[in-house]
């Protein structure tokens, strides 16, 4: 399609088709550009303008959506996108009665239109009626069980109010509708673990632990296990799954074994002994082995291995994590801080590694930087429960219960902001 457009870039129909393709691929920014070009070439095409309005809503740009809705109204006053955009604009201005009027008008003509249902549910939330909002979405899903938007909104709503069985159910259904939605699948695993449904968590984890699953997905599941299911049963399950694992998966399992204090399992899985000479090809396995050796007390040997790996590849994530933990245990907190800062620069959106940097500052006794690190992570990766819980515990200890309540309040605001994004 790109070649067709390049060959004849003054044909609006080609740009419109390209926009459709980009939407299907999830490239909404590219889709918006394609539809914009189609609109520039043919300003009478109401469907293109409706698509632009909906894409602006999806991106959260209510002002642009409202502006486009006014243009659309001139050529197609009854287009659903007109009422949808005006409804969200009224909602943003807290004019709930006007938002309701727009949503109800849309629902009268299209009673099960997903966008209208999400708008109506969002209005109910704004009125403080979260149970009615959940009920509305659940009824929509009886009629339209494939409505992924309503499912994701329901999942976010249940998470906001810590209804973990509800989160697990909605997330599982999203993952069934779209097996490529890794975030939904992992959310189902997390929610099952939080609600102590271990059997359900194992079922939800199965797609991510298949022998051909990407190593990073295996790592994500095992990190959830390490956080929420530390038990002999978890260790036994990991051993069983690891027997059928491929090379990259084995590294993820070995990293998990180190994390939960079973380094011999990690060494056995990674090859039993250091692989010499150390090279880029074997650096990941050696990083895991070095971490195991360090946990077992062979600090000097482990440090030498990790230093060699990081000379070859300074941003090696496994090696950085292992050396940070080694340095913390060895009382070399300043070196740990330096490595942890580098790790965060490599993975800036990793809550796990922000917390590791915080541990390094705590080991150094630097309460000011510990405080700053936790607050920065809390603001830069909003609505992350692990960061919230770590910050809250720190603030409660250092500043008392009133300060902890302020963290609670800010976290609720972050959740609400994330919730709003799922209701468009």
Model pLDDT for residues 48-62, shown as the tens digit of each residue: 999 999 999 988 889
DSSP 206-246: GGGSSTTS-HHHHHHHHHHHHHH--SHHHHHHHHHHHTT--
What pLDDT does 10 receive?
Answer: 86
The residue-averaged pLDDT of 9-37 equals 90
**Angstrom distance (rounded) from CA 49 to CA 71:** 8
Contact 238, 266 (CB under 8 A): no
What pLDDT does 2 receive?
Answer: 67
What pLDDT does 413 receive?
Answer: 87
What pLDDT does 423 receive?
Answer: 67
Eight-state DSSP code of residue 9: T
Eight-state DSSP code of residue 162: T
What pLDDT does 270 receive?
Answer: 85
Question: What is the pLDDT of the chain when averaged over all its residues?
Answer: 94
307: nearest Cα among 325, 295, 318, 319: 319
State the CB neighbour count (10 A cutoff) for residue 72.
Answer: 21
**Terminal Cα-to-Cα distance of the chain (whole angstroms):** 29
Q: Residue 166: which residues within 8 A CB-CB, separation 6 or more? A: 134, 154, 155, 158
The residue-averaged pLDDT of 157-172 equals 94
Spell out the long-range contacts of 66-73 with Cβ–Cβ below 8 A and sequence spacing 24 or more: 72/46
Digit-coded pLDDT (tens) for 332-390: 999 999 999 999 999 999 999 999 999 999 999 999 999 999 999 999 999 999 999 99
DSSP 107-159: HHHSTT-HHHHHHHHHHHHHTT-HHHHHHHHHHHHHH-TT-HHHHHHHHHHHH
Contact 281, 313 (CB under 8 A): no
> Is 260 strand, coil or helix?
coil
What pLDDT does 7 receive?
Answer: 65
Percentage of the chain modeled with pLDDT above 90: 87
The residue-averaged pLDDT of 22-28 equals 88
What pLDDT does 271 receive?
Answer: 82
For Cα atoms 285, 288, 289, give the angle at the middle one, nearest 5 degrees.
Answer: 85
What pLDDT does 4 receive?
Answer: 65
Residue 331 pLDDT > 70? yes
Digit-coded pLDDT (tens) for 89-99: 999 999 999 99
């Amino acid at each position: 399609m790109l070649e067709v457009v390049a060959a004849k870039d003054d044909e609006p129909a080609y740009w419109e088709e390209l926009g459709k393709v980009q939407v299907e691929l999830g490239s909404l920014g590219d889709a918006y550009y394609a539809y914009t070009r189609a609109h520039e070439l043919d300003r009478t095409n109401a469907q293109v303008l409706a698509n632009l309005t909906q894409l602006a809503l999806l991106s959260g740009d209510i002002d642009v959506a409202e502006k486009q809705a006014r243009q659309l109204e001139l050529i197609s006053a009854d287009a659903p996108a007109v009422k949808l955009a005006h409804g969200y604009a009224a909602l943003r201005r807290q004019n709930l009665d006007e938002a309701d009027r727009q949503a109800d008008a849309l629902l009268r003509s299209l009673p099960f239109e997903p966008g209208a249902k999400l708008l109506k549910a969002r209005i109910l939330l704004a009125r403080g009626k979260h149970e009615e909002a959940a009920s509305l979405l659940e009824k929509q899903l009886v009629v339209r069980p494939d409505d992924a938007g309503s499912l994701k909104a329901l999942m976010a709503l249940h998470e906001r109010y810590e209804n973990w069985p509800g989160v697990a159910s909605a997330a599982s259904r999203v993952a069934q509708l779209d097996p490529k939605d890794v975030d939904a699948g992992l959310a189902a695993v997390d929610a099952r673990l939080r609600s102590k449904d271990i059997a359900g968590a194992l079922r939800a984890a199965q797609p991510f632990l298949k022998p051909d699953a990407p190593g990073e997905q295996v790592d994500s599941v095992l990190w959830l296990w390490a956080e929420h299911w530390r038990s002999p049963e978890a260790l036994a399950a990991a051993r069983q799954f690891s027997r059928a694992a491929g090379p990259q998966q084995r590294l993820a399992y070995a990293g998990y074994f180190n994390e939960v204090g079973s380094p011999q399992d990690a060494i056995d899985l990674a090859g039993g002994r250091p692989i010499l000479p150390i090279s880029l090809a074997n650096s990941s396995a050696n990083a895991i082995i070095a971490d195991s050796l360090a946990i077992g007390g062979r600090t000097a040997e482990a440090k030498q291995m990790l230093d060699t790996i990081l000379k070859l590849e300074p941003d090696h994530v496994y090696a950085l994590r292992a050396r940070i933990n080694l340095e913390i245990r060895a009382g070399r907190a300043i070196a740990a801080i330096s490595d942890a800062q580098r790790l965060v620069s490599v993975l800036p959106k990793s809550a796990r590694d922000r917390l590791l940097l915080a541990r390094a500052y705590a080991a150094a006794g630097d309460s000011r930087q510990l405080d700053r690190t936790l607050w920065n992570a809390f603001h830069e990766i909003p609505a992350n429960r692990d960061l919230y819980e770590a910050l809250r515990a720190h603030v409660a200890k250092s500043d008392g219960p009133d300060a902890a309540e302020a963290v609670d309040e800010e976290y609720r605001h972050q959740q609400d902001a994330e919730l709003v994004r799922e209701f468009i």
